[in-house]
Amino acid sequence: MKFRVAREVLADAVAWTARSLPPRPSVPVLAGILLEVDGNQLSVSGFDYEVSARAEVDVHATEGGRALVPGRLLAEITRALPPHPVEITAEGPRLAIACSNARFSLPTLPVEDYPSLPAMPSSAGVVDSDVFAEAVGQVAVAAGRDDTLPMLTGVRLEIEDDLITLAATDRYRLAVREFAWRPETPGVSAAVLVPARTLADAAKTLTSGPEIVVSLSSGGSGEGILGLSGKDRQTTTRLLDAEFVKYRAIMPSESAAHAVLPVGLFTDAAKRVALVAERGTPLRCEFTPGQVTLRAGGTDDEGQAEERCDVEFDGEPLTIGFNPTFLLDGLAAVHTPRARMDFTSPLKPAVLSGVDEPATDDEGDAPARPAERSGSYRYLIMPVRLPG
């Protein structure tokens, strides 16, 4: 195997593939990146039996072949090379890398022991890459991180014709996002549970092209696979074989009060007040007509903070406490200038959602009408019981 390639192109492909490598592989070969040259195309692949990643790069090749090399080391080397073309040659048990005056020689791993990458499932449809990345980012933040509860570490992906719904929860909050896509088959219906960390990473890094192809295969006993492919890159992940919570039953259908918040101002105020909130202590929110007062701390042994923020509030005065991190995560995911928070009672979950801004007339004036919720994203957050 011998080829020549631009340093930036090679470094980008290797770095992207290396992101999927396991930090502590069960067998040494899974720490490797597989380089395969066929014609003038280089394939850069990684696989750990759960997640696969493959990037394709155009090269000038004089000899085809394949070699398995330590992945993270290759990523560090290609990132550090000078901005000149790179020549790579596989000779027996070594891989030679030459770039300008820099020379490296790496040992190769036994390529015959490397597992075959799973085949990409059949295409189910196409979604805009920026829409997919935004939706996954909004929802994955609410997924659990306790591997002993696998049903909470995934993102539920539901397909109903031309609508996809994503949902994730860690028992203390629940995020739901809906968006349109273009299915291959009209009337298609499916529901799978995808590892949240893998899905979030793939969604963020497959945005080089305008679209992402979503592929699904559903085998029995947890053998289902989700495939995502963008421009010159594709990844697969094994689906979680676990039952997701019936999240629609958790989402309140009505509210007794609601507030409309200026997201930027409210977020900045919450961050400042939360500075004195000890770990596990709530951020106290006191809603009254026209304003909310944020408080944290309060004992003699800790700091205290208080700040008022103008809001629109409709309902009886209400005091409720939230985990500051969970509240700020939800605010960061709203992606609209204003957010609406609906309340049932101080001891029941509140629902945060975006607010659709009213259209303006020809003079630029917004017609007077109540703020309307955006139905595409909802973030349910459990309250924290306040002292007294």
Residues 71 and 16 in one domain: yes
pLDDT-based confidence at 220, cuts 50/70/90?
very low
Mean pLDDT for 61-76 is 96
Distance between CA atoms of residues 152 and 242, nearest Å: 9
Q: In 10 A of CB 150, how many CB atoms?
A: 15
pLDDT of 187 strictly over 60:
yes
Q: How does pLDDT run across 112-125, given as a tens digit for each residue?
A: 999 999 999 999 99
Mean pLDDT of 213-224: 71
Question: Same structural domain for residues 192 and 294?
Answer: no
Number of independent structural domains in the chain: 3
pLDDT at 29 over 90: yes
Query: What is the per-residue pLDDT for 374?
Result: 47
The answer as to whether 278 is a domain residue is yes
171 with 190, same domain: the answer is: yes
Same domain flag for 342 and 318: yes
Q: Which CATH number characterizes residue 185's domain?
A: 3.10.150.10
91 and 130 assigned to the same domain? no
Q: Are residues 259 and 366 in the same domain?
A: yes
Average pLDDT, the chain: 91
Q: Cα–Cα distances in Å, from 149 out to 42, 171, 206, 244, 379?
A: 39, 11, 28, 11, 21
pLDDT over threshold 60, residue 221: no
The number of beta carbons lying within 10 Å of the beta carbon of residue 39 is 9
Choose between 43 and 300: higher pLDDT.
43
Asked if residue 14 and residue 99 are part of one domain, the reply reads yes
Residue 286 lies in a domain: yes
Buried b (16+ CB within 10 A) or exposed e, 189-228: eeebbbbbbbbbbbbebbbeeebbbbbbbeeeeeebbbbb
- Considering the domain architecture, whether residues 35 and 75 belong to the same structural domain is answered as yes
pLDDT of residue 264: 96
Element containing residue 124 per DSSP (H, E): strand 123-128
* pLDDT for the residue numbered 375: 53
CA distance 172 to 138: 16
Q: Domain range holding 204?
A: 123-248
Q: Are residues 80 and 163 in the same domain?
A: no
Q: Are residues 256 and 368 in the same domain?
A: yes
| Residue 388: predicted pLDDT | 65
Residues 222 and 320 in one domain: no
Q: State mean pLDDT over 221-231.
A: 81
Q: Please tell me the number of Cα atoms within 13 Å of 257 on its side-chain side.
A: 20
In a domain, 386, yes or no: no
pLDDT digits over 248-283, tens only?
Answer: 999 998 999 999 999 999 999 999 999 998 877 899
* Residues 56, 76 within the same domain: yes
pLDDT of residue 203: 92
Summarize pLDDT for 327-381 with one digit per residue, the tens. Answer: 999 999 999 999 999 999 999 999 999 998 765 455 555 554 444 554 589 999 9
Integer CA distances (angstroms), 25 to 31, 115, 233, in order: 6, 13, 23
- pLDDT value at residue 325: 95
- Kindly report the pTM of this predicted structure: 0.89
Provide the pLDDT for residue 376: 87
Phi/psi of residue 124, nearest 5 degrees: -100, -25
